[in-house]
Homo-oligomer: A and B are copies of this chain.
């Protein structure tokens, strides 16, 4: 129990969510205990239908910087661009990463407040996640370790 990694996901875009899962699964492969807490926009990641449509943020994408399109057009462009690169490089998709996380025994905690705000039920969530908890439960989980590390995406 020396190092425990807590990862908080509050963003709803793949440019944040994929790195969160990549770090989580890497750490778990190294033998660290890892828990992830999903709140605000990040809760969408655990919704079994909505998580199929998570976009990539165009903010920070230099390649679309000069295109005078609406934010949603740029978002679509960026997401398509990104999907293509991910496939060509045989990178794991979000659903691959969720499965990998579960098989590595990473705890996936939905935030109970966000569940209420979004009107999500337990049945809406992907299988194998923990039951919804509050932030206090997650902070306690982290703080039990000698070396707690927390990252927020």
Chain A residues proximal to chain B, CB less than 8 Å: 3, 8, 10-13, 15-16, 18-19, 22-23, 26-27, 29-30, 32, 39-41, 44, 50, 53-55, 57-62, 64-75, 85-86, 89, 91, 113, 116-117, 134-136, 139-140, 142-143, 146-153
Contacts and interface: CB of A to CB of B under 8 A. Distances in A.
A72 B134 CA distance: 32
Contact of A147 (B19, B54, B148): B148
Q: Specify which of A32, A69, A117, A139 lies most central, judged by the most chain B CB atoms within 10 Å of its CB.
A: A139
The 10 A-B residue pairs whose C-beta atoms are closest, nearest first, are A12-B60, A41-B60, A26-B135, A71-B71, A151-B152, A13-B60, A68-B70, A10-B19, A57-B59, A26-B136
